[in-house]
Structure 1
Amino acid sequence: MPAETEGLAARPCFSEEFRREFEDLLRWRRDVRRFRKDPLSAHELEYLLQMADLAPSVGNSQPWRIVVVESRERRDQVIASFDMENEAAAQQFEPDKALQYRQLKLAGLKEAPVHLAIFSDENPSQGHGLGRATMQETLAYSTVSMIHTFWLAARTARIGVGWVSILDPELVSSILQVDDSWRLVAYLCVGYPEEEHMDPELERARWQARSPLETRLFRR
């Protein structure tokens, strides 16, 4: 059998049912901020990280660097950074909007059993620089692809993920004592959700609804 025929034979066939379930997964993904304190097993976390590591990357560089934050002291320092930056953000709004902002639940740092700090190595030897000479930021984009892959894998196991961005990246890097060439991309809270919703929390809180695709689609 010719190699190209073998390749076609080996290609998985995704059913219509699978495609519908995949759409459900995308809608179900959601940024989770309310977690139960039940621990996540080491086996479950390892499996999710292995799935995430299958994500594509520029030049096959796999620039993501994952720090599992287990130290209570370090977690508390990250939480303090969030509290400080969150209050600073609130002060940028007019009084009514600031009040609404302070009522939002924007992180599950205190409740989530797992904290993951995700960095992108800005100068990885792997990949030999392929594909990033003119767009160095593709390293960070690759890391985001890994994060999204992790997120989808987690949701298939009914595990929630929350992306915390209201942090001082340099302070977090210092707290975790990482390499100077690593750039913080995301700080993730991971655990079992306290509640489940198909719609985004910010939409339920009337902060911002999703807009239709047509507002972001252009043709030239």
Structure 2
Amino acid sequence: MRLNRTLLAIVLLVPALILQVSILARLQLPGAVPDLLLLTVLGLALVYGHVGGALVGFAAGLLADLSPPADHAVGRYALVLCVIGYLAGLTRPETGRHRSATIPMAVVAGAAVISTLLYAGVGTLVGDTAADTSGLIALALTATLYDLLLAPFVVPGVMALARKFENDPLAGDQQAPPATDSAASWSGAGRRRGLRRPRSGRLLDKPLGGTGRGRSPLAGLRPRRGAGAAGLGGVKVKGIKRL
């Protein structure tokens, strides 16, 4: 991943894990525990896509496997969150943004169920003594309920931070226009359009005073010699020099 993605993932995942272990795990809620780490991975995966989501999920799961009081085999939760991050990243649209919150909330619900089942299944395959499949359905239902209640307070904020640090044109600003649509080309087109004369002004294309080459279009507007005398009614005044 790029450096900004790595730094943001560290900044978000470490506090999420601390809050998960120190506060949420001690609430003594019936059934499962709200998974703040899972919601953080989902928020990043919905912005980064399937590859970035898989990498973030693996790093988050490995961090949870190594942090106390983890009582399961190392790599078990890393595999689960890697798969979850990959699947959640596949739902990222080409435009980079979901048109509504329906798909992200559906992703949260599906991730809560799949992560619970996958965690129990991986524990069974590797012979982990901490694996317990009793009451799995009730555990999945409570995990879905808690994650859906917590998701509106976590996932949108994580996605907003990811888009901000991603500096992605789809998160806010649109892509820059091509060179043909640049400001210079538009102004050039405006100048070319400004040189066009309306049909009603075609008479100005030719000089009024003649058709000789090199003459200004306004040459015909210059006063002729003797115009002053003509303006006096054609009366010749003795002693006054004609212009």
Q: Which has the higher contact order (CA 8 A, sep 6+)?
A: 1
TM-score norm. by structure 1 comes to 0.23
Structure 1 or 2, whichever has the larger Rg, is: 2
More helix by share: 2
The structure whose residues are more often strand, as a share, is 1
Normalising by structure 2, report the TM-score.
0.22
